[in-house]
Amino acid sequence: MQIEIQDDFDLEKISSCGQCFRVKFYDDGTYRFITGDHIIRIRKSGENTYEVSSNENEWNKIWRTYFDLGRDYRKLREQEGKKHPFVQEAVECGRGLRVLRQDPWEMLVTFIISQRKSIPAIAKAVELLAEKYGHLVETECDRAMSFPTPEELQEVTEEELRECGLGYRARYVYDAVDKVASGKLDLTAIADHEDALLFQELLTVYGVGKKVADCVCLFGYGRTARAPVDVWIARAIREECGGENPFPLFGGDAGIIQQYIFYYKKNISVRAGTN
């Protein structure tokens, strides 16, 4: 099926900005995304047109929300960039980014794993978890293992989690599995909470700190006022903003601005040969 997207939409930037770790890129320019039991292949075919493997119903029900296509990123970029000179540079560098709306459970586990790991190492560990403990998802043009549910991980030991490359984070994931599978932490029910209470509920998982909780709020629950501060963002605040946190300027769009800044700092550092 062919679809049209008039707004900012760059598949390479979306897939490489540290918010999703199971995207695959193929030599023909196709990107494969997985969320829950849904798989899509998407490839740019014209200036504003894309070939997608889903049907119209699935595109509208699943993928429009996933890619946050109800939000005008071009307008946001033009309006918000004016508020800060560094942010203006960052949003232009990251033009085409979008904040994906992903599964809260997958985001909780993924960002627990992400602590002190590089993006390739995170992706490897997440894929190992899926291969060992997920279930098979098949479409007309794809087959892949899903990210494992809390129930699928319920009988997995902490040592077995370590074997997926989780290291010391295995005990954190083990606690997350216990809390969610037992119902102590209801990831569906807390979706109705205000941002601050949602954040506090996520902090009840062993090993979940402010950065991880903010990432789950942003990428799992669409709370775009939350701006996670990791090493790249802390560096940007220190080096580009004179030590002053710029995110209060952006209110409900702070988390989206965070992604532009993350992409900018990481790519500038790569080009400069630093990390």
Domain containing residue 10: 2-70
Of 211, 273, 247, 223, residue with least CA distance to 90: 247
What one-character-per-residue DSSP string does 207-243 give? T--HHHHHHIIIIIH--TT-----HHHHHHHHHHSTT
- Region at 137 (left for phi over 0; alpha for psi -120 to 50; beta for the rest): beta
- Of 7, 25, 8, nearest to 16 (Cα)? 25
Q: What is the pLDDT of residue 275?
A: 57
Q: Which of 44, 211, 265, 266 is catalytic?
A: 211
What six digits make up the tokens of 2?
A: 């062919």
Point out the domain boundary residue: 50, 70, 90.
70
Please name which of 138, 68, 135 lies closest in space to residue 101, comparing C-alpha atoms.
Answer: 68
pTM over 0.75: yes
For every residue of 115-177, DSSP letters joined together read: TT--HHHHHHHHHHHHHHHS-EEE-SS-EEEPPPPTTTTTT--HHHHIIIIIGGGHHHHHHHH
Backbone angles phi, psi at 262, to 5 degrees: -55, -50
DSSP secondary structure code for residue 18 in this structure: S
- The residue with tokens 């083990």 is 174
Query: Would you say residue 244 lies in a domain?
Result: no
Point out the domain boundary residue: 15, 50, 70: 70
For this structure, is 211 an active site residue? yes
Are 32 and 140 part of one and the same domain? no
In a domain, residue 123? The reply is yes
Cα–Cα distance, 87 to 165 (Å, whole number): 36
> Which amino acid makes up residue 82?
K
Q: Are residues 123 and 166 in the same domain?
A: yes
Mean pLDDT, the chain cut into blocks of 10 residues (275 residues total): 97 94 96 97 96 96 98 97 95 97 98 94 97 94 95 97 96 98 98 98 98 98 97 95 96 98 83 55
Element (H, E) at 23: none
CATH number, domain with residue 128: 1.10.340.30
Segment 193-251, tens digit of pLDDT: 999 999 999 999 999 999 999 999 999 999 999 999 999 999 999 999 999 999 999 99
pLDDT confidence of residue 113: 97
Distance CA 121, CA 112 (A): 13
What CA–CA distance (Å, rounded) separates 86 from 236? 9
Domain assignment of residue 177, yes or no: yes
From 221, 244, 265, the end of a domain falls on 221
